[in-house]
Chains A and B, each alone.
Chain A
Amino acid sequence: MKRASSLIPVAVFAVLAGAMGLGLTHNPRELPSMLADRPTPVFSLPPLLPAMAGLQSQDLSKGDVVLLNVFASWCGGCRYEHPMLMRLAADKRWKLVGINWKDAPGKGAQWINDYGNPYKLLGDDSSGRTGIDLGVTGVPETFVIDRGGRVRYRHAGPLTPEVWAKDIEPVIAQIEERS
């Protein structure tokens, strides 16, 4: 009896250590989006490139699955994910659109000229206000938007094949299943 009760502190410690250890495995960058299952706020961004349309919030609810990618020329992670975006652009299952966030004049266009344009529509958010309305905390970020224009997933950080397979593909499969 006495033996058993002296083990209680050890057990309490083990439970606490376990719970806190589990907490350490969370990624503090992964924050829930306030837009989950809601339409994006209304916005209207001018075109980044003269030959291409800008991006309006109503473009997001035209019946396509939309991947909305937020990027900037000053962002290393964006350079890293760019080849992945180029591959995604070729797929007809979704429409890839972009927002150039908080970039100096001309830098975003230079980026597209240098590395290629994966986007169907591309808005220029040089003030960063639309990004802030979307709850963007940094670049790159990618939103998955369903056919009705509701945000279904937000990924903060570069898109990689692993992220795509683990987090994004299932969301898209779910959207396609419903429609």
Chain B
Amino acid sequence: MFPMAARKVATAFLLLSCFLGGQAFAVLPDEVLKDPVLEARARVISQDLRCLVCQNQAIDDSGAPLARDLRIIVRERLTKGDSNEQVVQYLVARYGNYVLLKPPFQADTLLLWIGPGIFLLLAAGTAAFYFRPRNMKAEAPASALDETEQSQLAELVKDI
């Protein structure tokens, strides 16, 4: 078996790799802007832009060549003084709302946004209907015993 020290080192590496694993970025060193503020804005913007090649990845973590081009465009626009909103609009003008990972709230996406709420209400309504209390009459308290019943009861109890 391995000596104890080697095992400890191996465990340390394993733990380290668990924490560093999520830190892999697709942004290449040559793309990074010198201005840290602009670079931070570029990162925020590109995390919400869809890579058109690998469609459920953001361009920020996609390795596709087109994603790289779009990341560079985002940084170019920022360097030219565009606001975050203008940068996003620049790409929406070319690729449509599809390029946004978070769809905007507007007429044709209304169902998308409020659909889950509607289904929740529908489900809650159905549940309320199915689990409503039934047979209310049967559960009404029985009336008190009358005199004959009282004497019959006394008769029965006496034998015990």
Residue of A nearest to B119 (CB): A16
Q: Do residues A132 and B96 form an inter-chain contact, with CB atoms below 8 A?
A: no
Residue of B nearest to A36 (CB): B96
Chain A residues within an 8 Å CB radius of B110:
none
Q: Interface of A with B (CB < 8 Å)? A: 8-9, 12, 28, 31-32, 34, 102, 128-129, 132-135, 137-138
Report the minimum CB–CB distance from B96 to chain A (whole Å).
5
Q: Do residues A137 and B53 form an inter-chain contact, with CB atoms below 8 A?
A: yes
Contact of B95 among A12, A102, A137 (CB under 8 A): A137
Which of B27-35, B62-70, B149-157 binds A?
Answer: B62-70
Residue of B nearest to A137 (CB): B52
Q: Which chain B residues in 105-134 approach chain A with CB under 8 Å?
A: 122, 126
* Contact of A132 with B69 at beta-carbon distance under 8 Å, contacts A31-B96, A137-B53 already known: yes
Chain B residues within an 8 Å CB radius of A8:
126
Q: Cβ of B93 < 8 Å from any Cβ of A? A: yes
Q: Do residues A138 and B98 form an inter-chain contact, with CB atoms below 8 A?
A: no
Contact of A31 among B66, B73, B98 (CB under 8 A): B98
Chain B residues within an 8 Å CB radius of A129:
69
Q: Do residues B70 and A132 form an inter-chain contact, with CB atoms below 8 A?
A: yes
Q: How many residues of B contact A (CB 8 A)?
A: 15
Q: Interface of B with A (CB < 8 Å)? A: 52-53, 55, 65-66, 69-70, 73, 93-96, 98, 122, 126
Q: Do residues A132 and B73 form an inter-chain contact, with CB atoms below 8 A?
A: yes
Q: Do residues A138 and B126 form an inter-chain contact, with CB atoms below 8 A?
A: no
* Contact of A138 with B73 at beta-carbon distance under 8 Å, contacts A9-B126, A31-B98 already known: no
Chain B residues within an 8 Å CB radius of A12:
122
Report the minimum CB–CB distance from A96 to chain B (whole Å).
24
Q: Do residues B94 and A133 form an inter-chain contact, with CB atoms below 8 A?
A: yes
CA gap between A138 and B94 in the complex, in Å: 14
Q: Do residues A138 and B95 form an inter-chain contact, with CB atoms below 8 A?
A: no
Q: Do residues A135 and B95 form an inter-chain contact, with CB atoms below 8 A?
A: yes
Q: Do residues B96 and A32 form an inter-chain contact, with CB atoms below 8 A?
A: yes
Q: Do residues B96 and A138 form an inter-chain contact, with CB atoms below 8 A?
A: no
Listed A/B pairs (26) with beta-carbon separation below 8 Å = A8-B126, A12-B122, A31-B95, A31-B96, A31-B98, A32-B96, A34-B94, A34-B96, A102-B69, A128-B66, A129-B69, A132-B66, A132-B69, A132-B70, A132-B73, A132-B94, A133-B94, A134-B94, A135-B94, A135-B95, A135-B96, A137-B52, A137-B53, A137-B66, A138-B53, A138-B66
